Amino acid sequence: MMHHIKWITLCCLFLGLSACGDTAERPSFDRSAMLDQLAENHIRRHLELYQAAVLQFDQRVQSLIVTPTEEQYLAVQEEWKTLNRAWQAINIFDIGPIASQFLQHPLHRPPFDQELMDQFLASEDILDQEFVNKKMGSSTTGMMALEYLIFTADQDPSILEKKHQLTGLLSAKLKADSQTFDAAWQSYLPTFKTAAGYGINSSLNQMVNAQISNMEFLITAMVGNPLGKSNGGVANAEAAYERYAHDDLMALKSALLAHQSLFDFSATEGNGLNSYLIFLNAIADNQPLGQVIDGQFNLVIQHIDGLEQPLHLAIEQSPEAVESLYQEMKVLLILLKVDLTHHLSITSTFDDNDGD
């Protein structure tokens, strides 16, 4: 009897040691390295690109005020498009103190209030920085307001003069608010890089939730609402974003490319989101999940490239093609919202909305 007890004890001890040995040898994914790469090679890089675009835009605006020529006017319009596309990559990262302090709102907060802006332009008030700071909120300042001012024509010389005046004032405000925004990010980046845990406030959890929230915005606000998904199927091109600049389609493409870049970033170093899925052996439809997600990104961008007009015009002239784009974006959302979050053990903080 003692012999059997000793043998069982030795077997248990052996199995226990073997299990410990397997645990010690099991490779782990370096989440800290992933966050460091994301912070330094993705977030910081896009912050720099956005800040450079803000400065270049403001320089062009100041040149337009001094020398209001047609050439300067067109240059300002092109710089706004560059700025708007640079913003799409930053817009994804509404997390941490950036989100809690609403630091994105002064830069870009939809919807833009055109009616209120027209009231300001028609008023007898003196348009100066004090007026901007005291009377103009986030719905009439920032990039969306600037788009309206520089891309809409007006035959009334007094209104046109006020538009130029406000463009200069709002550009200066945008530059100041962008500097505040950038300073907050620079202060937050060290915390972002060290929050490598699995909790709801971990950087990875916040980042994936913010990405999904932004993707829902792209589907619902930028495509679905103009397509008529929120009002019984009646298309409304007036609901399209960036329609004044005829840049809605390119803004959407820039946003999708930014999302894909976030998913694939730092793949060569082996510590991006896609690499994390490979490490976890994440599978969907008998294929690596990362390949499925990447393929869906490419399919959505292919649908965007297939549209021959800006989105607000394509909605009226090629509604079937826009509907197809909308449906493929919803497929992509489900891959991110269900499959990605499941395999990365993300705690959902977003609303249960799939874009309908």
Integer angstrom CA distances of residue 225 from 218, 249, 256, 324: 10, 14, 18, 15
Global pTM reads: 0.88
Helix (H) or strand (E) holding 287: strand 287-288
Q: How many residues does the chain have?
A: 356
Query: Which of 156, 352, 159, 153 is CA-nearest to residue 244?
Result: 153
- pLDDT at residue 255, as a whole number: 96
- pLDDT at residue 351, as a whole number: 63
Give the span between the Cα atoms of 290 and 335, in whole angstroms.
10
In order along the chain (356 residues), what is the average pLDDT of each group of 10 residues?
Answer: 45 41 57 90 93 98 91 95 95 95 95 94 91 94 96 86 94 97 97 94 96 96 93 87 93 95 68 87 94 96 95 93 97 97 90 51
**Tokens linked to 274:** 């896609």
The residues near 232 (Cβ < 8 Å, ≥ 6 apart) are none
